[in-house]
Structure 1
Amino acid sequence: MDKEYINILIFGHKNSPSRHLKIKKKTFKIILYFSGFLLLCLTFFICDYIQVKKKAYEVARLRQETETQKSQLHFFSSKIEDLEKQISKLKEFDKRIRIIANLEKGQEVFPFMGMGGPYPSDIRDKLRLEKDEKGLVQQMRVDIERLESEASTREESLSELERLLQTKKEILTHTPSIWPAHGWVTSGFGFRTNPFTGLTQMHEGIDISNQIGTPVVAPANGVVSDIQNDFVHGKLIVLSHGFGMTTRYSHLGKIFVRVGQKVKRGEKIAEIGMSGKTTGPHLHYEVRLNGIPVNPMRYILN
């Protein structure tokens, strides 16, 4: 009978009597198994708690990282908008340059789609499609730096081209490229026999013959720098066109401008006359570059 029980002695202090417990072996086994089960459950819960704490820490870290990336993405998005505005300005530059250069509407001075790398809209597509946000942020940083550099370089290049074309346009508008009067060229530029002395002399312009009163127009934009009236040239106008270019008109009749007045290409400045030393009504027309007479026919385009 005693074999079915387990005897347990519990000793107290010196003066306390000891206690004797008898527990059935079956009951003891149940208690032992239950204690082991409780210990196992406790171990499981402790491990699970540790894992939960780790995951909570990881979630907090990921949230912080996500907030940082959101801030970076917002910053990059703002930079992309600035770049789009800058590129829009470059397109306006291109439009103005095409107008100045008289290019066709469809022509591009610089093909913007050939810049290399993604366009800002491509970056937005990446924002929607890319899963690796950290890699995306890094890629966006590289792309934005490159786009900023290219946009800045393109803007400087276009500005320089605009200044160059504007200067060329100014030169063209101030170049005497149209006939100053209708008529017939009766004497060209170069050496000829003087009709009054019979000697060979340099003729520093061209003679355009026509009736008295035929309009004389400015062949380019300029300013009336001088008006004279002498025995040889008669009534004379000098126009200054800038860039070292001047034109002279002799043997005039009526004069319609004054010194200091600005004139535009095609504007009437006088009429053909017969003033000064001349054999008949005509316009003596000269072009001078830095004070040296040059052949006017080199500049006339019409």
Structure 2
Amino acid sequence: MLLFIACAGTVFYFGHDYYLLKQTDRDNAALLETIASQRIEIVDQRRQIQMFAGEIQGLKEQITKLGRLEKQVRLIADIDKSGRSSGIWGIGGVSKIDLDQELPIDAHHNALIREMHHQVKQIKSIADKEKLDFNDLIEKLTKKKNLLASSPSIKPVSGIITSPFGYRKSPFTGRRTFHSGLDISNRRGTKIVSTAVGKVVFAGRKTGYGNVVIIDHGYGKATKYAHLSDILVHKNQQVKRGEVIATLGNTGRSTGPHLHYEVLVNGTPVNPSKYILN
């Protein structure tokens, strides 16, 4: 009986121990499976984080390009930024090592996340500033557009320049006199066009100049067209750049068919050649 009890106890002890061992083995297998699944999930999350970091890097490069574009437009249009600075050049970059998807999941993980949060804040701040800068640029370009449209920039008539702006020998007196415009010769009746957007403030005859058209372009600029044959516009008429306003003639004090063309800035004649771009 004692031997039976001892054997039964031994069997029960080892059987219970075996059961616990098997249970622990099953629990370990489940735990390993969970760990493997979580590891796969962590690796996937790491790759997504790295992809997001790469997108942030691309966004930063796009903002930088926009900043350069804005700078070029301001330079071409001669628009000052008035001391404003976008701070684009201060954005940091994500290390290429951190973007390596083969990098162990525990390497640089926290630093990468912190850097991403920092750059997102930077980009948001700079994007807000760039929005203000572009709004300012658009507003100034609009004003500049009106100014450029009102600035004489084309030749008023085809032909040969027979007398430039400046001092010359007068064809009438032979003395050295100041010539306040350009003389452009061509056939009588050749079409003459307005060299910029503006308003006709005079259309009629003037002593010495014959038939004359004067156009006010705003911003202190005006143009005068003299010795005309036919005047095709009237006072207070709005004209566009390139619109026909008269025909070339020989009226007034003139030695032959030509156009006397003047550009005036704040009432003072300036060299019209500087306002002919074509």
TM-score range, shorter chain: 0.5 to 0.7
Match of 2:85 in 1: none
**Runs of at least 5 residues in structure 1 that lack an aligned partner in the other structure:** 1-22, 102-114
Go from structure 1 to structure 2 and tell me whether the alpha carbon gap of 1:140 and 1:167 turns closer, same or farther (over 3 Å shift).
Answer: same
Letter paired with 1:29:
A
Match of 1:203 in 2: 179
User: CA–CA distance in 1 between the matches of 2:221 and 2:230?
Assistant: 24
Letter paired with 1:226:
V
Q: 1:222 Cα deviation (Å)?
A: 1.0
- Any conservation in 2 of the 1:216–1:268 contact (CA below 8 Å)? yes
**Runs of at least 5 residues in structure 2 that lack an aligned partner in the other structure:** 77-90
Pair 1:132-2:109 in alignment: no
Pair 1:255-2:231 in alignment: yes
Pair 1:228-2:228 in alignment: no
Question: For residues 126-149 of structure 1, what are the alpha-carbon distances to aligned partners after superposition, in whole Å with 9 as ceiling and x for unaligned?
Answer: 697677396576665456556556
Letter paired with 1:132:
I
Pair 1:287-2:260 in alignment: no
Aligned residue among 241, 247, 258 for 1:264: 241
Pair 1:296-2:276 in alignment: no
User: CA–CA distance in 2 between the matches of 1:197 and 1:284?
Assistant: 18
Structure whose CA Rg is larger:
1
- Any conservation in 1 of the 2:201–2:214 contact (CA below 8 Å)? yes
- Any conservation in 1 of the 2:150–2:198 contact (CA below 8 Å)? no
Q: 1:169 Cα deviation (Å)?
A: 6.4
- Any conservation in 1 of the 2:203–2:233 contact (CA below 8 Å)? no
- Any conservation in 1 of the 2:192–2:244 contact (CA below 8 Å)? yes
Higher RCO (CA-CA < 8 Å; seq separation 6+): 2
Letter paired with 2:164:
G
Pair 1:180-2:153 in alignment: no
Q: 1:223 Cα deviation (Å)?
A: 1.6
Q: Percent identity?
A: 30
Q: Which runs of 4+ in 1 moved over 4 A?
A: 115-118, 126-131, 133-174, 192-201
TM-score by length of 1: 0.54
Aligned residues: 236
Q: Secondary structure at the match of 1:30?
A: helix
User: CA–CA distance in 1 between the matches of 2:119 and 2:125?
Assistant: 10
Match of 2:4 in 1: 27
